[in-house]
Amino acid sequence: MKSSSRIIVALDPPEEVDDVVSWALNIVDNTIDYVVGYEVGLPLLIRANGVKELSVLLDRISDLELRIADLKLADISDMMVLAIKPLIEIGFNAFTAHAFIGYSGALKELGSFLQKNDSKLICIISMSQPGGVDFFDKYLDRLTNIAIKAGAWGLVAPATRPWVIRKLRKLIDYMGWRHIKILAPGVGYQGGRPGQALENGADYEIIGRYITRSSNPQNVVKEIARIHEEVIRRVEG
Amino acid sequence: MKSSSRIIVALDPPEEVDDVVSWALNIVDNTIDYVVGYEVGLPLLIRANGVKELSVLLDRISDLELRIADLKLADISDMMVLAIKPLIEIGFNAFTAHAFIGYSGALKELGSFLQKNDSKLICIISMSQPGGVDFFDKYLDRLTNIAIKAGAWGLVAPATRPWVIRKLRKLIDYMGWRHIKILAPGVGYQGGRPGQALENGADYEIIGRYITRSSNPQNVVKEIARIHEEVIRRVEG
């Protein structure tokens, strides 16, 4: 593990893989020395044989700073809390949720539940798909305010639209929320150039298929780490 | 099964239950004669031992019209499709997704994938928690338009805010989309009175804890069915 790394690997298994947890463990073994954390989404969660099998994966990455369940939660608070309890038990320590579900009866209760359980709330403020402009980008300020009010540790904004990241960075700096992290998915496969999100104000880049579907995940992650170091040297002076 | 029923039961297991699939099967056996379908959300999905165990439940309800995976999907299209494929394979035939994620790269591709797989897209247009007013209710028209464009079979609006259901019913009737169904969660436990959503223009009421946590689920579901019949007689003539 490198705590200075800005790389989070999204473990989304391809369709043709049968044993998704073994697939994920293999990626982890090849990349763990170069990343700050991993992210598990519904494709892996649904195809694993329950939380028991997933706990093997969580044990393997238990030293890492970020063990994210990328559920993109968007439900009433009771249901979100009910869904994540078994995931906290096996070692996830951060959860993504949409800011658009609002505060009361939703993010408020989720945020305080996560705080009580030493876990991080990561709020989705914008998304990488073209349709992300239909709503998200129009209400960046308001979504950010709801997320911060709920105690978010980090905010998600897409590497595919660097101007959104710049705007978000400006907004949170201006509001005095400099401690809030920005996480950027959409690097590589979806079109974001590695390092570009960091240049534009993100703290972490979330990278999935670009690493996990390459013939040599370790080489790719090492190359991205090298690019990131260059960018950080340049940006931070 | 009663195809004229307007009741969908949400199968969200309480925390203290260990074997969540047996718990769900027991509810099904006690209610199946009075409902049009069931809904499975993340709390059950995460705590079941994989899709294999869930398939037993889907087999039991295979004759029902609605077998909904209430994932409240809100991701990019690739990830949503990857997540639901194994669920279609075991017999789910309807999926909830947020209209908020927008059309291109999100609902558009999800809608056409579901259509190809004889499955229904159910779009969340508003939510039952108090914070639902922060965003959803302000953009009802726009969210509805995105959902319809993506080929939604049904729309979700909360039983806890009957005026939202009325507004949505007016909107879809006015636009000539009378075939579109309205599904209303939030009945009972969250405060919606059984039958009230139907009175206000919904086609189905989604009821969870009010039925599943009662000491006699069958009695409760029979009583709701009776109330529904009265309401329908009154409303439809």
Q: Are B47 and A86 an interchain contact pair (Cβ–Cβ within 8 Å)?
A: yes
pLDDT of residue B237: 67
Q: Give contacts of B145 with chain A, Cβ < 8 Å.
A: none
Query: Is residue A124 included in any domain, yes or no?
Result: yes
- Is residue A26 one of the residues assigned to a domain? yes
- B236/chain A closest Cα distance in angstroms: 32
3-state secondary structure of B183: strand
Domain membership flag for residue B1: no
Residue A135: what pLDDT?
Answer: 87
Q: Express as a percent the part of chain A with pLDDT over 70.
A: 98
How large is the ipTM?
A: 0.95
Residues sharing a CB contact under 8 Å with residue B236, sequence separation 6 or more, in sequence order: none
B97 φ, ψ (degrees, to nearest 5): -145, 150
What's the domain count of chain B?
1
Q: Which residues of B touch A50 (CB under 8 A)?
A: 47-50, 53
Residue B151 pLDDT: 98
Pair of tokens at residue B120: 């229904």
What pLDDT tens digit does each residue of chain B (237 aa) get? Answer: 456 899 999 999 999 999 999 999 999 999 999 999 999 999 999 999 889 899 999 999 999 999 999 999 999 999 999 999 999 999 999 999 999 999 999 999 999 999 999 999 999 999 989 998 888 888 999 999 999 999 999 999 999 999 999 999 999 999 999 999 999 998 988 888 999 999 999 999 999 999 999 999 999 999 999 999 999 999 876
Pairwise CB contact (< 8 Å): A76 & B15: no
Q: What is the pLDDT of residue B138?
A: 87
pLDDT tens digit string along A149-195? 999 999 999 999 999 999 999 999 999 999 999 999 989 888 889 99
How confident is the model at residue A3, as a pLDDT? 59
CATH code, domain carrying A108 = 3.20.20.70
- The predicted structure's pLDDT at residue B56: 97
pLDDT value of position A188: 87
CA distance B175 to B169: 10
pLDDT of residue B3: 60
Instruction: Decide if A1 is inside a domain.
Output: no
Residue A231 falls inside a structural domain: yes
Cα dihedral A221, A5, A99, B99 in deg (nearest 10): -10
Q: Could you tell me if residue B2 is inside a domain? A: no
Which domain does A69 fall in, by range?
A: 7-236
Q: Classify residue B177: in a domain, yes or no.
A: yes
Among the partner-chain residues A15, A101, A131, the one whose CB lies closest to the CB of B85 is: A15
**Separation of alpha carbons A202 and A123, rounded Å:** 14
Phi, psi of B6, deg, nearest 5: -110, 15
Q: Tell whether B16 is within 8 A of chain A (Cβ).
A: no
CA distances from B66 to A177, B46, B231 (A): 46, 21, 22
Q: Which residue has the tokens 């993340």?
A: B42
CA distances from A204 to A96, A195, A197, B67 (A): 14, 9, 8, 39
In a domain, A152, yes or no: yes
Query: Shortest CB distance from B50 goes to which of A48, A83, A127?
Result: A48
CB contact under 8 A, B47 and A87: no
pLDDT reported for residue B2: 56
Q: pLDDT grade, residue A4 (50/70/90)?
A: confident
Using the beta-carbon criterion (under 8 Å), do A43 and B83 form an inter-chain contact?
yes
CB A109 within 8 A of CB A98: no
pLDDT digits (tens, 9 = 90+) for A73-118: 999 999 999 999 999 999 999 999 999 999 999 999 999 999 999 9
Run of H or E including B9:
strand B7-10
Beta-bridge partner residues of A207:
A9
- Chain B: closest CA distance from residue A234 (Å): 32
Distance from CA of A99 to the nearest CA of B (A): 10
Contacts for A231 with CB less than 8 Å, ≥ 6 apart: A195, A198, A199
Those of residues 35-74 in A touching chain B at CB distance below 8 A are: 41-43, 45-53, 71-74
Which pLDDT belongs to residue A2? 56
Alpha-carbon gap, residue B237 to B233, rounded angstroms: 6
